[in-house]
Amino acid sequence: MHIAIIGNGISGITAARFIRKLSDHKVTVISAETDHFFSRTALMYVYMGHMRFEDVKPYEDWFWEKNRIDLLNAYVEEVDTTKKQLILKDQSPLAYDKLIIASGSASNKFGWPGQDLDGVHGMYSYQDLEAMERHSDGLKHAVIVGGGLIGIEMAEMFHSRHIPVTFLVREKKYWNGVLPDEESDMIGRHIEANGIGLQLGTELKEIIDDGNGKACAVITSKGERIDCGFVGLTAGVHPNIKFLEGSGIETQRGIVVNEYLETSVPDVYAIGDCAQASNPVPGRRPIEAIWYTGRMMGETLAYTICKEKKSYNPGIWFNSAKFFEIEYQVYGEVLSKAPDHHTAIYWEHPDGEKSIRIIYDKNNSQILGFNLMGVRYRHEVCEKWLRDKTPVEEVLQNLSLANFDPEFYKEYEDEVIALYNRQSGKSLQRKQKRRLDSVIKFLRGV
């Protein structure tokens, strides 16, 4: 059996690796981006000089031949599900028995005048990294459009080379469609403290052509002209599925899949950023462009194809990121605009760069989520509390079990408990100390 995989990102490559572990099926991975798989989340560190490109390839180049995974550097123009073949850019066909679509995302463009000029790029692909490199020499100013995680990465990249940046963010606060107000304000202050020109409530209106097909300035929604030699479009991403038009595969915003990652067409599957769950599990979104979910999908699908059907369940929501020096973690249900039954304990350090938010249900006191800035908590501990619907007071009394900051770092659990006591009139005391043996016993249920 021949299994063709479109896309050599984390989803497609994980599927290929596990198919090889579980079977002797012929596997072909098709991608026009790069010859070999690389860690997409590490691209920024290549630009910043922390790593070389060869350092972000998790496997040596000989790995693929040794493991009998064929790599094809090509672009898929069309998918013919009737004949079970892919039509490549050179019009040559590639037959398959089963097809896995792991084509990832593409940067959003919203029809801005000048959006296709030279010097206007996103930050998603290896080609985007090359474009940033190409335009950085002698660059005097960059404008970044969009206030998400990709935008802050691009800002940090330019900042590392002392290239001035102006950040245009449509919302009134940075990423406040995801972050609660206090955390959003914190990151906004931190961006400005790093010398980034943050313009909130400001949209891109037009990108100006220098007369030679290259961007030279932008015009904002407030009528301001900002001269620049590079415009970063980081206003989100969308599933990369345009090539599927006419294939008969059901698509909406992404490729519609069931719990087994099957599409509407037999023997065709979709995983990763391009997949849209028809019935997502509670607490999860239909499309999640997240590294670890792509990896989970790839492994799950390999078992379905090679062994027996296995439904995809991403579990409890988790994400992490870094805003310059501030690390960010979220577990469970933390909403920017919380419903009435959500109650928050929010503690913020006087330095304005660390915070702990604990969400619980005011009707039954069950823990719902954690939002952390500049403080790190153990994934396994937080997930167990959320999975077990642990009462908030039990969580607070054992909060030290979650602390994952290095030894000798200051701990803030007593301050969080004291805050809860002031809010509730209770007199809780911490029970557990932060010791590894205590954490292990807790996770084992001892």
293-312: per-residue pLDDT in tens? Answer: 999 999 999 999 999 999 99
pLDDT-derived band at 397, boundaries 50, 70, 90: very high
Domain map of the chain by residue range? 2-106+238-306, 120-235, 318-444
Amino acid (one-letter) located at 127? Q
Paired sense of beta strands 120-121 and 105-107, if any:
unpaired
Q: How many CA atoms lie within 13 A of 191 on its CB side?
A: 32
Q: Where are the beta strands (DSSP E) in 228-349?
A: 230-233, 237-239, 255-257, 268-270, 275-277, 318-323, 326-332, 342-348
pLDDT for 436:
65
pLDDT for 432:
64
pLDDT-derived band at 147, boundaries 50, 70, 90: confident
What's the CATH number for 318-444? 3.30.390
The 10s digit of each residue's pLDDT in 77-97 is: 999 999 999 999 999 999 999
The 10s digit of each residue's pLDDT in 65-80 is: 999 999 999 999 999 9
pLDDT-derived band at 442, boundaries 50, 70, 90: confident
Query: What pTM does this model have?
Result: 0.93
Amino acid (one-letter) located at 163? I
Q: Evaluate whether 2-106+238-306 and 318-444 have a shared fold.
A: no
What is the residue-averaged pLDDT of the chain? 95
- What whole-number percentage of the chain has pLDDT above 90? 92
- What whole-number percentage of the chain has pLDDT above 70? 98
What integer is the mean pLDDT of 355-364?
97
- What's the burial of 54, exposed, middle or buried (CB within 10 Å: 0-12/13-18/19+)? exposed
The 10s digit of each residue's pLDDT in 243-297 is: 999 999 999 999 999 999 999 999 999 999 999 999 999 889 999 999 999 999 9
pLDDT for 135:
97
pLDDT for 411:
86
- Residue 410 is classified by DSSP as P
pLDDT for 435:
67
Q: CB within 8 A of 113, min separation 6: which ones?
A: 206, 207
Size (the chain), residues? 446
What's the CATH number for 2-106+238-306? 3.50.50.60
pLDDT for 434:
62
- pLDDT at 368 > cutoff 60: yes
- Dihedral (C-alpha) 192, 196, 197, 202: value to the nearest 10 degrees? -90
pLDDT for 440:
74
Class of domain 120-235: alpha beta
Q: C-alpha distances in angstroms, 231 versus 77, 162, 216, 239?
A: 28, 16, 9, 22
pLDDT for 383:
96
pLDDT for 283:
85
- pLDDT at 446 > cutoff 70: no
pLDDT-derived band at 415, boundaries 50, 70, 90: very high
pLDDT for 444:
78
Q: CB within 8 A of 384, min separation 6: which ones?
A: 390, 442, 443
Q: Which residue has the tokens 């929604």?
A: 221
pLDDT-derived band at 102, boundaries 50, 70, 90: very high
SS3 (DSSP) at 124 = coil
Q: Check if the beta carbon of residue 377 is closer than 8 Å to that of residue 399.
A: no
- pLDDT at 433 > cutoff 70: no
The 10s digit of each residue's pLDDT in 108-127 is: 999 999 999 999 999 999 99
What integer is the mean pLDDT of 155-159?
96
